[in-house]
Amino acid sequence: MLAAVISLGGIGLSAAVALGLAAKKFAVESDPRELAVLETLPGANCGACGYPGCSGYAKMVVSGDKLAAVCPPGGQEVMEKIANIMGFAPITTDPQVAVVRCQGDNAKAKLKYTYIGVTDCVAAQKLADGPKLCPGGCMGLGTCARICPFGAIEMTAENLAVISREKCTGCGKCVASCPRQVIELTPLDATTHVLCNSHDKGALIRKYCEIGCIACQICKKNAPDAYVIEDFLARVVYEHHLETGPGVEKCPTKCIRDFAGGYPQGSSFAPPTCAMPPQKVA
């Protein structure tokens, strides 16, 4: 019994000594600021900064004399903390949120075939360009929702992707994952968007979607600086986002949405509660 205790204790002691020596001899020199920077970061490893994960970004920060890239999920708060730690000049960030430019869920947009297969938008797109008649609309099979590191995207019961303005950090992974490029990064303070992604002519769109942009130009007539029509599709000119009100009111298909009033039909997100800049009434 005593022999067992002594021998095991001896092994433990020698292991401890060996580890202690190894810790001193093989210690890695690292900049203590790197750890401090790493602790300010959101830790999502989303790659939006262009560096391999948050530790990669922290390494970049301490290796240079100024910031080579911002951390979009971290936002202004994190940039200021980093500027403090490193003694850099502060950077202003332009916060962005992703928007799915479509409201054509299964209740409103027609399909060309019943899709039975892998529940993935990229896979469905390969089959005769997807099950929707609309070439640009959201297929709602969830590829973007799965790739979002912040859980900001929900799929409605009628197969439409909706992105929460509060949870979205503007990292851009959903934008790259969508095979139809339906998702766009937009300035955070702009709450009004034209939610359509089809450049087909109005008459054709009416055949397959109730809520698409028919390029009637009524929005532009009522708010000339706030909208531009490109290739049969209207878009908001974000520099004039405060003047978009009349377009939202007069749009005949209701494809223009002001998110301050709520998310598309079917979404479970409550209307955004963070302070929204007031709409200028024309």
Partner 1 sequence: MKLKTFPGGLHPPDNKQWSAHKPIETCPLPAELIVPLSQHIGAPAIPCVAAGDVVKKGQVIGEAKGFVSVPVHAPTSGTVAAVEDRLHPMGKLLPAVVITPDGDDAWGELPAPLDVQSASVNELRDRLRDCGIVGMGGATFPAHVKLSPPEEKPIHTLILNGVECEPYLTADHRLMLEDAERILDGVAILQKILGVKQTYLGIEANKPDAIALMEKACAGRAIEVVPLEVKYPQGAEKQLILAIAGCEVPSGGLPMDVGVVVQNVGTCAAVADSVLRGIPLIERIATVSGPGIKEPKNLKIRIGMKLSHLVEQCGGLNGEPAKIIMGGPMMGMTQLSLEVPATRGTSGLLLFTADNVPLRPEGPCIRCGRCVRACPAHILPTTIAAYARLDLFEEAEQFNAMDCIECGCCTYSCPAALPLVQAIRHAKGAILAQRRKV
Q: Interface residues with partner 1 (CB under 8 A)?
A: 112-113, 116-118, 120, 122-123, 126-129
Choice between 75 and 179, CB closer to partner 1: 179
Q: Which is nearer to partner 1, 142 or 272 (CB)?
A: 142
**Least distance from C-beta 139 to partner 1, angstroms?**
15
Q: Which amino acid makes up residue 230?
A: E
Of 125 and 191, the one with the shorter C-beta distance to partner 1 is: 125
3-state secondary structure of 195: coil
For the CB of residue 123, give the shortest distance to partner 1 in the complex, in Å: 5
Cβ at position 134, least distance to partner 1 in Å = 15
- What are the tokens at 261? 């009033």
- Please identify, using beta-carbon distances, which residue of 97 and 145 lies nearer to partner 1: 145
Closest by CA to 241, choosing from 255, 223, 254, is 223
State the Cα–Cα distance between residues 121 and 118, nearest whole angstrom.
9
The distance of closest approach from Cβ of residue 120 to partner 1 in the complex, given in angstroms and rounded to an integer, is 7
Is 202 within 8 Å of 103 (Cβ atoms)? Answer: no
Sequence letter at residue 223: A
How many angstroms separate the CA atoms of 73 and 171, rounded? 6
Tokens 């949120």 sit on residue:
97
